[in-house]
Structure 1
Amino acid sequence: MTKPYQQIPIKDCGEPLVLIPHKQFAVESPHAYQKLGAPYHLSGVNSPYYLRQEVLERLINAQTDLQSNYPSWKILIFDAYRPVEVQQFMVDYTFAKTLKYRELKPDLISPEQHQAILAEVYQFWAVPSLEPATPPPHSTGAAIDIALVNNTGKTVNMGSPIDELSPRSYPNHFATSSHPVEQQYHQNRQLLAEVMISAGFQQHPNEWWHFSFGDQMWVWLTNQQKTEHNYVAKYGRYSVD
């Protein structure tokens, strides 16, 4: 299953992965996927808190922008570098979780049901491809899942949790709501998007929490906005050889 952005050519710049400075941001430790048993050890990088160097620099710029108006707020880093092995683990986990929620047994569903549910999963999870031309965004070290933490240390409510398989995950889901609480959710999402986009990131069309710079999705979205350019992705799948 190929997604539109995976048609973008890649010319990896060879930039290294660098550790995200934990003290500078808000992070969850242990990481949510590590709690589930995700096999980071298979990739040679035992932590998700890595990004390509320029991506990290831009993330720092985004937080500086945020703190110019909200001095004690921080960007909460939910996930960053995600090896393909972990991508496969999370696709399988999400598929199984969806079956359980719908009270379906994996050995009793039809091939059509299997494909339909997998298609739902792939709306929000990239295909765990090992092909160099079609890397999952997080495997490049150029994509990041984030939220915000306010001055009291609490996570700012965005109206839905990260990784939820639902229309509520779409960035503008609450944009037309007349409910005051849902209007606030939209404003919170807008703030997050504004500081990230001002730092050069692009936002995933289906996920309020996912931003990237320099990968295939970033190029695909940027080329749609700036038709005079024809960018090439500068980050492909990062692997430890």
Structure 2
Amino acid sequence: MNLKPYQQIPIVECHEPLAPIPREVFVIPPTHPYAALGADYQGRSPYFLRQGVIQALQQAQQALQEEHPHWKILIFDAFRPISVQQFMVDYSFQTLLQQRGLNEANLSEAEKQDLWQVVYELWALPSSDPATPPPHSTGAALDITLVDAQGNVVDMGSEIDELSARSHPDYYATAQTPPEQTYHQHRQLLHRIMTQAGFRRHPREWWHFSLGDQLWAWLGQQENSSDDAIARYGRI
């Protein structure tokens, strides 16, 4: 599998430690969705991030409540060991086979590669190379959504981790129906509070934001080609 463009960004590790995401500030589900599928975190909590990332996330939460009192950011996923990255990549491949009614044993190598290409549009390669860590394995990336004042998860028009074009942030940007326009408004709200706090959003995932990793540095370089693109968070 070819490297993604952001994986060529150099990392100058700052050695900032992981810290627990404060449960009193954010919504954290009682059971992690990947652990529920069987992913083994080997005693490590997924609800950790680098200290600087947590501080920025708290700024985003404050900005959210200034616009929508009592709304909160829901943490779907944060720190992810490479072993869990591998588990979810394999799980997604099997899910894609089921969705398309395919039997892996009957597929040609070219057909398998086409399916893997779909998987790797969403999931980063579970690379053990320190120069190309999956974003979530750095403690600098997280998957999030919003919860309203009544405690209901805000409808964004698709599920997190959905393998479809609906995952693209601007999928509903030109929508004509009121529900779809609302989905776009919700995505814009999430994007606005996070970018104001210094995060950058994954180009193909409305829910994925990072700060300080290779993807974040690469996206900054795309916005301003004069910037020196260097990541400060590498693999934990």
TM bin, normalised by shorter chain, reads: over 0.9
Matched residue of 1:155: which SS? coil
How much does 1:152 deviate? 0.3
Listed one character per residue, the Cα deviations across residues 129-165 of structure 1 (whole Å, up to 9, x for unaligned) are 0001110000000000000000000000000000000
How much does 1:226 deviate? 2.0
Name the counterpart of 1:35.
36
How much does 1:90 deviate? 0.1
Scaled by the length of structure 2, the TM-score of the pair is 0.98
Aligned equivalent of 1:138, options 136, 145, 149: 136
Matches within 5 A, 1:148-227: 148-227=146-225
Q: How many residues align?
A: 235
How much does 1:46 deviate? 2.0
Find the aligned partners of 1:38 and 1:216 in 2 and give their Cα distance. Answer: 25
Find the aligned partners of 2:6 and 2:65 in 1 and give their Cα distance. Answer: 32
Tell me whether 1:126 sits opposite 2:127 in the alignment.
no
Q: Which runs of 5+ in 1 are unaligned?
A: none
Find the aligned partners of 1:65 and 1:24 in 2 and give their Cα distance. Answer: 13
Name the counterpart of 1:56.
54
Find the aligned partners of 2:98 and 2:188 in 1 and give their Cα distance. Answer: 33
Partner amino acid, structure 2, of 1:141: G
Matched residue of 1:129: which SS? coil
Find the aligned partners of 1:188 and 1:177 in 2 and give their Cα distance. Answer: 13
Listed one character per residue, the Cα deviations across residues 105-145 of structure 1 (whole Å, up to 9, x for unaligned) are 12221111111000000000000000011100000000000
Matched residue of 1:24: which SS? coil
Listed one character per residue, the Cα deviations across residues 153-204 of structure 1 (whole Å, up to 9, x for unaligned) are 0000000000000000000000001111100000000000000000000000
Matches within 5 A, 1:96-111: 96-111=94-109
Find the aligned partners of 1:48 and 1:113 in 2 and give their Cα distance. Answer: 34
Find the aligned partners of 2:5 and 2:40 in 1 and give their Cα distance. Answer: 28
How much does 1:102 deviate? 1.1
Q: Which runs of 5+ in 2 are unaligned?
A: none
Identity of aligned residues (%): 55
Find the aligned partners of 1:46 and 1:135 in 2 and give their Cα distance. Answer: 18
Which structure 1 residue ranges, 4+ long, deviate > 2 Å from structure 2? none
How much does 1:22 deviate? 1.2
How much does 1:224 deviate? 1.2
Matched residue of 2:121: which SS? helix
Find the aligned partners of 1:31 and 1:37 in 2 and give their Cα distance. Answer: 10
Find the aligned partners of 1:105 and 1:56 in 2 and give their Cα distance. Answer: 43
Q: CA RMSD in A?
A: 0.8
Find the aligned partners of 1:119 and 1:229 in 2 and give their Cα distance. Answer: 30
Name the counterpart of 2:78.
80
Name the counterpart of 1:18.
19
How much does 1:231 deviate? 2.7
Scaled by the length of structure 1, the TM-score of the pair is 0.96
Listed one character per residue, the Cα deviations across residues 35-87 of structure 1 (whole Å, up to 9, x for unaligned) are 0110110xxx5211000000000000000010111110000000000110000
Find the aligned partners of 2:226 and 2:105 in 1 and give their Cα distance. Answer: 51
Deviates more, 1:103-112 or 1:71-80: 103-112
Find the aligned partners of 2:33 and 2:96 in 1 and give their Cα distance. Answer: 18
Name the counterpart of 1:5.
6
Partner amino acid, structure 1, of 2:30: S
Matched residue of 1:174: which SS? coil
